[in-house]
Structure 1
Amino acid sequence: MKILVVSEALGEPNHKRGIFHFTRELIRSLAADGHDLTLLVETTRRYRQLRTRQRRAQLFPADSRLIELLALYRFLDEADMNEPVARSAVRRTIDWVKHRIRACTSWEFGACLLRAIGLLPLRVKLIENKTAGLEYIPTDLRHLELFRDFLLEPGFYSYQDASALTQLPPPQIDARDYDVILVDTPTRVAIKRGPNAKVICVVHDLLPLTDLKLSDVATRLFLSRLMTSLHQADELAFVSNYSMNRFRDLLPQFFYLPARVVYPRTRFEPFRLAPVPMPVPVSTARPGQPTFVVIVSAEPRKNLNAVVRAFRKMPHADLVVIGYAGGTSLMRNPPPNVRFAGYVEEHDKATLISDAHGLIMPSLAEGFGVPIIEALAANTPVLCSDIPVFREVAGELADYFDPFSTESICASVTRVLSCQDEWRRKIRERRGELVERFGPQTQARDLLAPPRTVEYLVAAQ
């Protein structure tokens, strides 16, 4: 089938969150099944600058499409995950306002607005993805090679938020040539499609509606996106039974939409049957100390502070924090056994997880919990909060703790350290089941099959 993918995680300089992981693996699965994929990419002033610079360099003929393709790949690779974040909330607000002003005064934003209100006709600008002309593609961009074409939409993702706040019409796209339009996460978009086309909207969670720590603006933006997507969706896909049931509780008026669960996936490398020694952590300056990893973002619900307090009481074990930890990484007198690694490349993250004595997921709320399946794929023990969605994902293959209790976290670490061989044996014995449930080969099948054949039921039901 011809599938148009509308995804902020892939269609603009990405931010390497769990949504990015889900969509990247889904694209790999769809491509492996032979589907014809096109990615909608937002172009901005920055993309135009890159393209103009390459034309002036005269490295290629003036009419070469490779100029645009090279500019597009460079544009999508521009997210700097290690860029320092302003410490002051006032400074962050100022930077956000300046970014919005620049976006709203750009040519791309104006073109998107004029098409949304009908003063400019819809257009389709496709770039064929001839990656053979590119000498080297970074590892984090390899998924882009799986798209046949890129559909360029000026200012698309920037305009959708402005239209939500100002009640302007949503951006429009012409998708009449596609069989399926996959909207990854609720997106404010008006889709012009063919009579037999199907719109599938992926809902990862409803946390922007229920998280008390998020701003009113963030909640309004998400709700506007969600409602626009739901009114056009033919089917819904959720990343867990928990997310699907929460959706039905909070938005029962959309119960009529067919729904299914499509779990996030990860790659399960061939398992080594030969005995392997206990991991020697590569992530700590104290060789020989047991090491645990935690993957976070700067959100209070990630509950990182509780884990740091727990490891302050456990000087015999080390903790490596992967991801942007916000103010926690700037705390005074941090425990010497806690290291903040920041953003790390996918290969390095996989190494840290596989070499660790355990992965800790202390979240108070999640839609799924991708690091859990990454750890299970690496045969690494999992320690996580005792919340329903983690019980759904990990089942009996995790040690659970009370996320509000540092003593409970410490006890969990002690239990996992004392039973390393047993935990790894349990995970290894269930590997076939894990591959079937979370391996990438079935993700496309679950997304495109009739919802009634793939919808999972909660065990209690």
Structure 2
Amino acid sequence: MTSKTILFVSDSLGTPIHARGIFNFSYGIVQILSDLGFKVHLLVEPPAAVVNSRMSGERAGLSSVEASALLTDIFRHFQGERFRFDWFYQDPAFQRLCDGFKDLAEIELTIADSKRVACQQKIPVDGEVISEYINSSQTEHLALFDGMLVSEAVYSESFRRAIHKLRPNIVDASGYDFVFVDTPHAIDFVNVDSSKIVFVVHDLIPLFEVTMGYDWREMFVNKLSATAREGRNGIFVSETTRSYFKKFYGSLRLNTSTIVFPPIRKEVVENAIAIGRKPTSNYIREIESNKEAEFAQYVHEQSGNTAEGKRLLFGRGNATASANGKWNGSLPYFCSVLSDEPRKNIKVLVEASKKLIGRANIVVMGQIDGNVHMGGRPELYPNLHFTGYVSDVQKFDLLSACEAFIFPSFSEGFGIPIIEAALFGAPIICSDIPVFREVTNGLASFFNPSSADELVERVNISLRAPSARDDGQQLRQFAIHQFVQDSLKGRLAEVFQQVG
């Protein structure tokens, strides 16, 4: 369709962050852009250790050998620790300027930005380097791109400047036909027309979510203000999100405003079609030994307390734990995919699980310290299991055989896990919030997210009526029609036709 090139701006893809929902959204968008014929380059923050040795503003570009070495460093970096940034500048004198003399601080930042822009490097995504690292789940997404624009501390600076209410970080976008910003960033782009910049707003949750801290709210507002500007093109992941944006930013004149639902990754759709519904899960069989190990670890931690240790070992003083203290893999299970954010509402699942002991199991996927949510008393929750990180294979296995998928969030911009589960034909039990009514087309079982009793009742209805598993087929067909990449390709193509 086109040979135009897009600079793709995403800290989820351009730094080592792999556990956020935004990662899957951006992954799917890049797949569509590639299918549409665009060349896509990723804005990448390189590891600090190689900035001085590999990057220099003294020449226009790197040699092929130097570019290959830098790409190798980036792949290795992405396989290491997760992305971290310092909230404050390491130079205490400059931090004092940021705190009390922002005008002076921004003069210094202007000088720093000019040096950083001069050191930006465009490098191709080399096939030989990819072949060595592509089998890693932490780097396979890098193979989607035709090239990279490597810029020192570009995302770290975005966070810091938003936190301190400083002007946005600068990126030179010369040579690119479009810039695609996958979520608000405190980054400004030079040498590209504003009408060629497309940005995505997933939600405005920090503006009204009471569980979020003031600093995070301020940071979000500053990032959004830097991204959503006059003359740019806005993409919103749901009508619910766009309505909130109009409420708070109604006077802002955008070049275009479009709803593009989050595209589900091709790998998810292909596996959902191939696997569909299964009677049992392979992963469930492994949980009994995992639960026993989890309990043994807790006993070991309590071994210094003789009375507590004996109580745990012999089951005395806790009739519930004694009678129901083991995982029963023969029970039907309900699963969820969550993170530790308070708005994700893990608490209601924990409360509901105690009311479902002996009747149903609950499996929570995600990088979560389950012991914290169980109050350090895992023996009280024999039917509740936190998986920690799971591979796609394990996730697909669990989704394909669960009795239903539970999503208890207080607030969301969309809810990709709901659609992924629906594609496997799982019935959905979710919070009764507007965006979930929208994305499920009303084809879900809704409950008040503040009521564990309501959730238990929805679970009991599912248990009393096994035929409810078939109800998931209506939502599955709706999801296939609305949210797979083939369904969204035309809409995304229209966005670039309008701006291009």
Fold equivalence (TM over 0.5): yes
Could you say what secondary structure the match of 2:155 adopts? helix
Output the amino acid matched with 1:333.
R
Distance 1:374 1:121, change over 3 A: closer
The residue aligned with 1:69 is 71
Contact 2:78-2:138 at 8 Å conserved across structures: no
- 1:321 is aligned to 364
Q: Does 1:389 align with 2:435?
A: yes
Q: How far apart are residue 311 of structure 1 and its match?
A: 1.0
Task: Quote the Cα distance in structure 1 between the aligned partners of 2:250 and 2:273.
Answer: 47
Q: Once the 2 structures are TM-superposed, how far is the Cα of residue 279 of structure 1 from its aligned partner?
A: 2.7
1:73-92 alignment, distance < 5 Å: 73-79=75-81
How many pairs does the alignment contain? 428
Q: How does 1:20-169 map to 2 (within 5 A)?
A: 20-48=23-51, 63-79=65-81, 100-101=88-89, 113=109, 118=114, 122-133=118-129, 134-137=131-134, 138-169=136-167
Aligned residue in 1 for 2:393: 347
Map of 2:203 onto structure 1: 205
Matched, 1:243 2:241: yes
Does residue 1:336 correspond to 2:339, yes or no? no
2:98 maps to which residue? none
Report the counterpart of residue 458 of structure 1 in structure 2.
Answer: none
Q: Which residue of 1 aligns with 2:338?
A: 296
Query: How many percent identity over aligned positions?
Result: 28
Partner secondary structure for residue 404 of structure 1: coil
Deviations 1:261-307, CA, capped at 9 Å, x for gaps: 11112242377799965234623323311111121111111111111
Which stretch shows the higher mean deviation, 164-173 or 374-383? 164-173
Deviation digits for residues 295-343 of structure 1, max 9, x if unmatched? 1111111111111111101112111111233574451324111111112
User: How far apart, in 2, do the equivalents of 1:156 and 1:226 lie?
Assistant: 17
CA contact (8 A) 1:8 1:14 kept: yes
Greater fraction of residues in helix: 2
User: Structure 2: which amino acid aligns with 1:203?
Assistant: V
TM-score by length of 1: 0.83
SS class of match (2:6) = strand
Moved more, 172-181 or 38-47: 38-47
Query: Is contact 1:201-1:233 (8 Å) kept?
Result: no
> Hey, what's the Cα distance between the residues in 2 that align with 1:249 and 1:389?
16
Residues 421-460 of structure 1: pairs in structure 2 closer than 5 A: 421-424=467-470, 426-429=471-474, 431-450=476-495
Using the alignment, how far apart are the partners of 2:397 and 2:91 within structure 1?
Answer: 38
Q: Whole-Å Cα distance in 1 between the matches of residues 20 and 243 of structure 2?
A: 23
Structure showing greater Rg: 2
1:189-245 CA distance string (max 9 Å, x none): 111134486111100111112111212111111111111111265110111111110
Q: What SS is found at the alignment partner of 2:190?
A: strand
Cα offset, 1:407, TM superposition = 1.3
Which residue number in structure 1 is paired with residue 59 of structure 2?
A: none
TM-score, normalising length: structure 2: 0.77
Q: Tell me the residue number matched to 2:251.
A: 253
Q: Tell me the CA shift for residue 62 of structure 1.
A: 10
Please say if residues 277 and 425 of structure 2, whose CA atoms lie closer than 8 Å, have aligned partners that are also in contact: no
3-state SS of the aligned residue for 2:45?
strand
Aligned to 2:270: 269
Alpha-carbon RMSD: 3.4
1:367 maps to 2:416? no
Are residues 192 and 445 of structure 1, via their aligned partners in 2, closer, same or farther at CA, if it must alter by over 3 Å? farther
Conserved? CA contact 1:260–1:451, under 8 Å: no
Aligned partner of residue 253 in structure 1, secondary structure: coil
Q: Could you tell me which residue of structure 2 aligns to residue 310 of structure 1?
A: 352
8 A contact 1:47–1:72 mirrored in 2: no
Contact 1:115-1:172 at 8 Å conserved across structures: no
Q: Which moved more, 1:64-73 or 1:280-289?
A: 280-289
**CA distance in 2: counterparts of 1:11 and 1:337, whole angstroms:** 38
Unaligned stretches of 5+ in structure 1?
Answer: 53-60, 82-94, 454-461
Which stretch shifts more, 305-314 or 397-406? 397-406
2:318 aligned partner: none
Of 212, 215, 222, the residue aligned with 2:213 is 215
1:122, 1:183 → 2: CA distance?
22
